Structure 1
Amino acid sequence: MLGLGTLRFASPPPRAAAATAGDISLGNGDHCAVPPPPEDGDVDKARTETTKGSYRWRMVAHFTTPFPYYCLDNIHSAINGLLPHEIRVREISAARPEFHARTSTKSKIYHYKIYNGAVMDPFHNLYAYHCAHKLNSQAMQEAAKHFVGIHDYTSFANAVHNDRVRSPIKKIVRFDVIEMGALLQLEVEGTGFLYRQVRNMVALLLQVGREALPPDIVPKIIAAKDRRELAKVALLAPPHGLYLMSVNYDKEMLKPPEGAPPISFGRTHQISRLEMWYPSFLSFAY
């Protein structure tokens, strides 16, 4: 989540959910800081754990306010006005009091893009990892299937220094390797991911694709439950090919509460008939 604040009061304040998109390739994930509240308040700073240098297509944040909003368009416009240009709030809707952008998550979908051509396409330079070596996509797909299921992913997690201890047991729902011309797209969906887990899994698949390792190396590294075993055979994949595509929730959890204001998709600026006609008149006259 990006740096929006959660203000807590004696009675539950109105809560909203914001779908965001952003390019954090130049930032550190903490793009927006919330000013400190009065001493009797409490702020939960919401931050993204998406890796610096990567991208997010659709990420959800939640925030609460001390009073209800009957029109979300104004706050939508105001938030986007405060954010840096590389981050946008796509939509805002009222949320249930029990909704939490992180703990209510059902699954997440990540994509990793690899440009597999001899010469890098300059239009993909910032948005895909370049691998000039021809990759064996079939071997990569065979290896990716070993990730599917419930496993202990200790071998694929980098150490993170914070106060939150996460279970290494995660469920991968699917892991697909899709060829799109010179572009190779790795799509993984799971109920949760450890720090840098996706990039570490991609790193191992790249070695399989280069035919430096067999596809059955995956279950062996998983069984080792030791990050050092992965480090012996693969280096962490760079961040600029990584995209958080979506964070999924149960449909019931996303339903706005009764009497909630309409969802804001951003203000639309309509052009009047006169504005459409007047410029053409000027060009005709001159």
Structure 2
Amino acid sequence: MHRVAHFTTPFAYHCLDSFHSAINGLLPPDIRVREISAACPEFHARTSTKSKIYHYKIYNEAEAANHFVGVHDFTSFANAVHNDRVRSPIKKISRFDVTKMDAIIQLEVEGTGFLYRQVRNMVALLIQVGREGLPPEIVPGIIAAKDRKELAKVALSAPPHGLYLMSVNYDKEILKPPVGSPPVSFGRTHQISRCKLLFY
């Protein structure tokens, strides 16, 4: 699993290797920055994403996942407290795979973006379809309702400990460093235990 972050600095770095080592020297051993690159001014780690991939592992098989694929208004699957913070509840789900792995079922969903707790709420409904024998057609019905209360009638949010953000994808063009930027740093083998960065 990897994450992408961005920040703005007023300093011009001609070499990113020492900066890269300095950052890793400040982090605990189990957290590493694997790559540092300059980015174009328009790049934003969250809003520039092309798609995101989530995994969720459950112990019940559900076959209603395909009803989520496509462009839908997912208001029914957003946490009610956070509905007012959402710019648009319309999201595109490109795939929702159900894979059997020994004693568990792994769900992998990829989409252009997700509302607060949307993945956990979708999983919760699929668990109920598998466990309680609800008809798969209940999924498009709840989507069409655009009302979180409709989902609450049959399912609560799935617990967070089964959810993992596996990857975040971007268009190649948005990741190209600006002309004249220093080379991309992929890190060094040694670590710096203490350092002082220019922006401190």
TM-score calculated relative to the size of structure 2: 0.86
Q: Is contact 1:166-1:194 (8 Å) kept?
A: no
Return 142-151 or 95-104, whichever deviates more.
95-104
Correspondence for 1:126: none
1:69 equivalent in alignment to 2:10: no
In structure 2, relative to structure 1, the CA distance for the partners of 1:182 and 1:88 (3 Å cut) is same
Q: Is contact 2:76-2:147 (8 Å) kept?
A: yes
Distance 1:99 1:254 in 2: 8
Aligned residue identity for 1:264: S
In structure 2, relative to structure 1, the CA distance for the partners of 1:83 and 1:164 (3 Å cut) is farther
| Post-superposition offset of 1:172 | 0.6
Correspondence for 1:262: 183
SS at match of 2:7: strand
In structure 2, relative to structure 1, the CA distance for the partners of 1:163 and 1:204 (3 Å cut) is closer
SS at match of 1:94: coil
SS at match of 1:207: helix
Segments of 5+ residues of structure 1 without an aligned counterpart are: 1-56, 117-134, 270-286
Distance 1:87 1:226 in 2: 40
| Post-superposition offset of 1:168 | 0.9
In structure 2, relative to structure 1, the CA distance for the partners of 1:216 and 1:162 (3 Å cut) is closer
- Aligned positions of 1:38-49 closer than 5 A: none
SS at match of 2:139: helix
SS at match of 2:13: coil
TM-score calculated relative to the size of structure 1: 0.62
More strand by share: 1
Identity %: 83
1:208 equivalent in alignment to 2:134: no
SS at match of 2:182: coil
RMSD: 2.2
2:52 aligns with one of 99, 103, 108: 108
Distance 2:135 2:25 in 1: 50
Distance 2:125 2:147 in 1: 14
| Post-superposition offset of 1:213 | 1.2
In structure 2, relative to structure 1, the CA distance for the partners of 1:212 and 1:83 (3 Å cut) is farther
| Post-superposition offset of 1:99 | 1.2
2:148 aligns with one of 227, 237, 243: 227
- Aligned positions of 1:80-229 closer than 5 A: 80-84=24-28, 87-114=31-58, 116=59, 135=60, 137=61, 140=62, 142-160=63-81, 164-229=85-150
Distance 1:198 1:76 in 2: 34
| Post-superposition offset of 1:98 | 1.7
Distance 1:151 1:175 in 2: 14
Instruction: Give per-residue Cα distances to partners, 1:56-83, cap 9 Å, x unaligned.
Output: x222111121112122222223323334
Aligned residue pairs, count: 191
Q: Is contact 2:96-2:107 (8 Å) kept?
A: yes
| Post-superposition offset of 1:238 | 0.7
- Answer 1 or 2: higher relative contact order, Cα 8 Å, separation at least 6: 2
In structure 2, relative to structure 1, the CA distance for the partners of 1:85 and 1:183 (3 Å cut) is farther
Aligned residue identity for 1:170: K
Segments of 5+ residues of structure 2 without an aligned counterpart are: 191-200
SS at match of 1:62: coil
Distance 2:29 2:159 in 1: 24
